[in-house]
A = this chain, B = another copy of it.
Amino acid sequence: MLNFDMYMPARIVFGADTEKKIGELIKPYTKKVLLHYGGGSIKRTGLYDTVVKSLSDNNIDFVELGGVVPNPRLSLVHEGIKLCRDENVDLILAVGGGSAIDSAKAIAMGVYYDGDVWDMYEKRLPINKALPVAIILTIPAAGSESSGDTVISNEETGRKYGYGSPHLRPLISVMNPELFFTLPKNQIANGVADMMSHIFERYFTNTVNVDLTDGLCETTLRTIISNAPKLLENPEDYNAWAEIGFAGTVAHNGLLGMGREQDWACHNMEHELSAAYDVAHGAGLAVLTPAWMKYVYKDNIEMFAQFAINVMGVSKGLRDKEALVNEAIARLQEFYRRMGLPQTLEELGIDDSRLEEMAQKCTGFYYKQEGKIGGLKKLDWQDVLKIYKLAQ
């Protein structure tokens, strides 16, 4: 086990009707809120009215900024920063999924920075404060409701970068599984693929003597795999949503990766797909993850054999590790297929014209940096290109 520093301060208020308490929950921390959200769905479902009523019942003033899109954009972040400064906002309330939350975090740190907040993403500048961010989660997927991470796309440069800081850990995240009932099936599936990937990125490691986090990763993955298909049958299955929603938070609050070298190659490779083709992050991960597994498993076949047995439930042929791992990867692909997720880059509408460019961008080679990605196996751009090709 490696040394670690675990910090998970985000308070998670979970369960039916919890969104109605948002005003009461944030009242001790705010006088004026920026209400930040995406398209019109929260108005159609009535959630917007619920939130506004709760703020008003608690005498909390607010201004609002909607319009966050998937792969949230820097231009809207700039707008939010200006609005917060002009209106003396002291807390940002994001109502939405990972995009609204990531955008809120970008605004939260940008308010205190004189330059362009993109500097944080590009130059990794440290921050020492940010406005507090509270959340009502409407899409369980990104885990951004508990993490200190944010991913923003710069429309001008076409780049998509992540940034993380303990100062960006949310103050309070409210999660009512009932709010997920209206999600379309492709968003359910994309969310499930994303949270599973958050665990895979931590789970697949060369670090040994990590029994506890091995087990925590495995049981969280099993919970997702057994509950997610229920949602396609019945999108109003509260119990299944409760498991998936809670699992999505646990997947990304940091716990599961403590003491382990982490990987994150799949996330890095997927960010290029999203930046270049604006594909859904979860869908991209579902395509790339099995390809990545096929490319790297021989570098640590014992790790993948453990995955096969403890996560994918392969119980036969334990003596033939190679076959065991291939069976596990096939089962994972079958699970993604059952969830309605794409299997190939082609299904994502990605041809081979930009594969080399994306491989070079994601490892930094394109920008004249000497870069490799990944933990379990370090990948240069040629490796990444091979993985993209395996995923075609």
**Chain A residues packing against B (C-beta within 8 Å):** 1-9, 11-16, 18, 209, 211-213, 215-216, 218-220, 222-223, 226-227, 239, 242-243, 246-247, 250, 255, 258-259
Whether A14 lies near B8 (C-beta < 8 A) is no
Whether B4 lies near A250 (C-beta < 8 A) is no
B2, B7, B250: which contacts A11 (Cβ < 8 A)?
Answer: B7
- Cα distance, A227 to B1, chains bound together (Å): 14
B8, B18, B243: which contacts A8 (Cβ < 8 A)?
Answer: B8
**Can you report 11 A-B residue pairs in the complex whose CB atoms are below 8 A from each other?**
A1-B15, A3-B16, A4-B14, A5-B11, A5-B13, A7-B12, A8-B8, A211-B226, A216-B220, A218-B219, A242-B259
Whether A243 lies near B209 (C-beta < 8 A) is yes
Rounded to whole Å, the gap between the CB of A200 and the closest CB of chain B is 17
Asked whether A247 and B212 contact (CB < 8 A) given A3-B16, A16-B3, the answer is yes
B2, B15, B227: which contacts A15 (Cβ < 8 A)?
Answer: B2
What residues on B are CB-neighbors of A218 within 8 Å?
A: 219
B18, B209, B220, B239: which contacts A242 (Cβ < 8 A)?
Answer: B209
What residues on B are CB-neighbors of A227 within 8 Å?
A: 211
B2, B215, B239, B250: which contacts A219 (Cβ < 8 A)?
Answer: B215
Whether B1 lies near A243 (C-beta < 8 A) is yes
What residues on B are CB-neighbors of A222 within 8 Å?
A: 215
What residues on B are CB-neighbors of A15 within 8 Å?
A: 1-4, 259
CB closest residue in chain B, given A1: B242
What residues on B are CB-neighbors of A7 within 8 Å?
A: 9, 11-12
Rounded to whole Å, the gap between the CB of A351 and the closest CB of chain B is 40
CB closest residue in chain B, given A226: B211
Closest 3 CB pairs of A and B: A3-B15, A215-B219, A209-B239
Whether B1 lies near A5 (C-beta < 8 A) is no
What residues on B are CB-neighbors of A242 within 8 Å?
A: 1, 209, 259
Rounded to whole Å, the gap between the CB of A258 and the closest CB of chain B is 7
- Cα distance, A215 to B243, chains bound together (Å): 11
B8, B213, B246: which contacts A212 (Cβ < 8 A)?
Answer: B246
Asked whether A18 and B3 contact (CB < 8 A) given A211-B223, A211-B227, the answer is yes
Rounded to whole Å, the gap between the CB of A221 and the closest CB of chain B is 10
